[in-house]
Amino acid sequence: MPVDAPPRIQAAQSISQKEGDGRSKGCKTAAIMVTSTPVAQPLAERGNTQVESAPVETVPEVTVRKRTFGLGASLNLNEGNDNDDTAVSKQSLGRRETEPETISVERLKQMSGSWLQDHSRSDGIEEMCEVLELGWVFRKALQKSDMLELDIDDVRIAQIAKIFRLVDLVENFPLSGEEQTFRRRDLRRGALHAQTSLTQTGYSTRLWWNDPCKGGMTETFHFTPDGKEMEIDVYIWRETGRECRLRTVWKRV
């Protein structure tokens, strides 16, 4: 027997010589299979010179989520965890549960009626007039425009602003959010574009226009739970970078 033969093959050949030539071929074959199969610890280190006739099974590999792991790794990965689809579904459900509900149309319809501005609790219009470059006539008209009527049904919101309490400025906004086009409120040339959407406590209208004085504004209407007061938050911006905010308070007449 060669001196430099591996210890495991030496042990296998020693056993095969004791059991006879008739079984030596099978033992040598088993020895070759053992040495070609990866084991966790060499036989010489365990102090056992016997060779098992069956080869040691290798750990199969399985594919999990397009990544390859050993069987044990895949079990640890999945143990106590949801799969990707379930996790995504739970996240989506959580978002839906936290998303605020908009006001119902029936509740919104109850806000129909006449409203009078409370100037003592409302912001002044001076900064807004500066940003919009409004002249003296319009400033006076805005100061006297303290009446607003709302006529709301299942499909649209009608806003009727009273100019000097004599002239009606009527604008209709579909609840579907469809874009509408009106004459500009400052009476300059060009169109006023508008879209309306419902909020938790009322509705919000986005308006925009092109030159002259290109810009836009957002009017957000909030109704108190008892329906007796209304607040309108206004944000105005110009393409030049100028902007302003103001809030007006209204009481039901």
pLDDT, one tens digit per residue, over 30-66 is: 333 434 444 444 444 444 445 445 555 555 554 444 4
Nearest to 138 by CA among 121, 115, 119, 163: 163
Asked whether the whole model's pTM tops 0.85, one would answer no
pLDDT, one tens digit per residue, over 145-184 is: 889 999 999 999 999 998 766 678 899 999 999 999 999 9
> Which residues have C-beta within 8 Å of that of residue 113, sequence separation ≥ 6?
149, 150, 252, 253
d(Cα 38, Cα 93) in Å, to the nearest integer? Answer: 48
Question: What local confidence, expressed as pLDDT, does residue 137 receive?
Answer: 85
Please tell me the chain's helix, strand, coil percentages from 3-state DSSP, rounded to the nearest 5: 30, 35, 35
Give the pLDDT band of residue 20 (cuts 50, 70, 90): very low
For 102-111, 153-162, 163-172, 238-247, which range has the lowest pLDDT when averaged over its residues? Answer: 163-172
| Residue 43 CA: distances (Å) to CA of 4, 6, 10, 35, 47 | 17, 11, 11, 10, 6
The SS3 call for residue 4 is coil
Which tokens in the block code for residue 231? 């607040």
Give the pLDDT band of residue 188 (cuts 50, 70, 90): very high
More confident of the two residues 71 and 151 = 151
More confident of the two residues 77 and 96 = 96
Question: What local confidence, expressed as pLDDT, does residue 139 receive?
Answer: 85
